Structure 1
């Protein structure tokens, strides 16, 4: 467990929380705000747990894992962009991309 692993865990949590915030803030409450506020992070967590987590239900190759990761972090970055926070969106996208590349190279080498 290295520094990049800790960063990646924090990025995951931030992405899930970001999707929840986006759902509650971007849509009128109570409906569809509650549906998107709960549904978006639940779908992202489900996809992550099924395909990307260390104890994933379905074993996929490194490229399948990368696809789930890119989709999750891209959705979170786009959520921040939609909320009018382009600096947070770009920062999240850049940090997630660099961390993902470092992790991908480590997984390919193994």
Structure 2
């Protein structure tokens, strides 16, 4: 069960990037492809700076909780804003459950 949750944790990270990209590509702007590429790129940069194992500015404790709440929350909000409300709620629910299990199991 713990190994499966590690897989889910990885998948929700990819899902966050996909949600941000989906939001960007669905915007009614002159170059939606630019937003579709830039939105996940911003999340990748933030993850590299603060969330990854090799982060330059690694956050711990409450800071880590806040960062992950912001990071995964941004993806859920992006999905919601793109009109995918059911997917946004499902994504948020999976994030909450998986992150709670990860905290309980010290993952």
TM-score by length of 2: 0.85
Partner SS state of residue 54, structure 2: coil
Alpha-carbon deviation of 1:12?
0.5
Alpha-carbon deviation of 1:45?
0.9
**What is the rounded CA distance, in whole Å, between the counterparts of 2:28 and 2:54 in structure 1?**
34
Note closer, same or farther for the CA distance 1:55–1:106 as it changes in structure 2 (3 Å cut): farther
Partner SS state of residue 72, structure 1: helix
Alpha-carbon deviation of 1:29?
3.4
Contact 2:22 2:79 in 1 (8 A): no
Alpha-carbon deviation of 1:71?
1.1
Partner of 2:17: 16
Partner of 2:29: 28
Partner SS state of residue 105, structure 2: helix
Contact 1:24 1:34 in 2 (8 A): yes
Partner of 2:3: 2
Contact 2:77 2:88 in 1 (8 A): yes
Partner of 1:40: 39
Name segments (4+ residues, structure 1) moved above 4 Å: none
Q: Can you give the 5+ residue segments of structure 2 that lack an aligned partner in the other structure?
A: none
Q: Can you give the 5+ residue segments of structure 1 that lack an aligned partner in the other structure?
A: none
Contact 1:48 1:69 in 2 (8 A): no
For this pair of structures, how many residues does the alignment match?
106
